[in-house]
Structure 1
């Protein structure tokens, strides 16, 4: 049995900048500033983004912690409003629906999510892209832990708690478009598959020594073979 964990943004879907725009509006409302415009959001959890950019702006951890819950609420409000307005195009990336259908039909694969999005935001983005959140049976979200490297073990534990499955670390497959996706499962012994569908090229992802790198998920046969051989 394999536990196949997908990142969301840049891997399963594109939200057309909705997440960053919503976060920057929330940061401005709560802290008075959107933070350093050069800060990269990709590969981070939502709460890590808040902490990083507000530390850089001179805010203390206790001050950030005191405002975190309200900030996430405002971020989610912005996410919903952006989706409903139609100003942002939230769409599945090439090949995603076919690959998820093929993997979901297999009895030796459990589909899951490993994402920096808080759970509510993750579900909203997936639904907006026409991807059914309930097909992912074992998940770890940015609302479960602020640090991404903690998420693979959370997903592994949930496979045991929810499904009664004992899945070894090397049977956990993490699929994502950033170096953080590749690196996060190393302590668990998970296999990482990079996908150059986000901000990083095939060559840049290979520098982080994943099990494999795909240019996209558009070739279902190639993606299936890579995942099932991992």
Structure 2
């Protein structure tokens, strides 16, 4: 943990991909498949990882304004077909969510994923009933690093933004939390590199689920 730890907030909002559920390999492979299938171009892992955390279609339209929508379709089709094969749980996350619930901590998920596929990902690792989806792609017109999704999540949680912590694995998560007036916790087991995350100066950086649990449950 960082030397200067922030006060523990009353409500906790989580990112999904790379934070609660290990979808990194699935997402990278989905990007690589979609771009190759439609344009014949290869995408390296570092580039694909850098796209994680943002809405899918704008990323692919940036890659190719001409073929972005077709890549979006191919990505979604391949991703759904391979989710159960490639998705993985993170050890300790189910227990952390159960402990937070037992302590009466308000919590939920704010993600850039579509609601249906986000729920499918949670169900695939047995977390479907453990935590609510409070904000998904369909819920706001602006997306991370814009604060709008996080502010909506806090509203639905019934907690003031200043009393919330947002936990995520990407630089856009830290930036969105700061813009929303929330505390930020960056986790190092997801898509973002430690150097990139540290450069955004989160309130706290953790390297394991156990470290995250020790902080969030210190109430």
TM-score, with structure 2 as normaliser: 0.77
Task: Flag the 1:73–1:111 CA change in 2: closer, same or farther, 3 A.
Answer: farther
Contact conserved, 2:18 with 2:169, CA < 8 A, in 1? Answer: yes
Instruction: Tell me how far 1:157 sits from its aligned partner.
Output: 3.0
Q: Aligned to 1:125, which of 121, 124, 137? A: 121
Task: Flag the 1:204–1:18 CA change in 2: closer, same or farther, 3 A.
Answer: closer
Instruction: Tell me how far 1:193 sits from its aligned partner.
Output: 0.4
Task: Flag the 1:141–1:6 CA change in 2: closer, same or farther, 3 A.
Answer: farther
Distance in 2, matches of 1:131 and 1:72, equals 26
Correspondence for 1:111: 107
Instruction: Tell me how far 1:172 sits from its aligned partner.
Output: 2.3
Instruction: Tell me how far 1:141 sits from its aligned partner.
Output: 3.2
Contact conserved, 2:13 with 2:109, CA < 8 A, in 1? Answer: yes
Which structure 1 residue ranges, 5 or more long, are not aligned?
A: none
Q: Which secondary structure does the structure 1 equivalent of 2:54 belong to?
A: coil
Q: Aligned to 2:16, which of 8, 15, 21? A: 8
TM-score, with structure 1 as normaliser: 0.74
Correspondence for 1:45: 55
Distance in 2, matches of 1:47 and 1:133, equals 28
For the aligned residues, what is the CA RMSD? 3.0
Q: How many residue pairs end up in the alignment?
A: 208
What does 1:130-209 align with in structure 2 at a 5 Å threshold? 130-132=126-128, 135-141=131-137, 144-145=140-141, 147-150=143-146, 152-157=147-152, 159-160=154-155, 165=158, 167-200=159-192, 202=194, 204-209=196-201
Contact conserved, 1:94 with 1:218, CA < 8 A, in 2? Answer: no
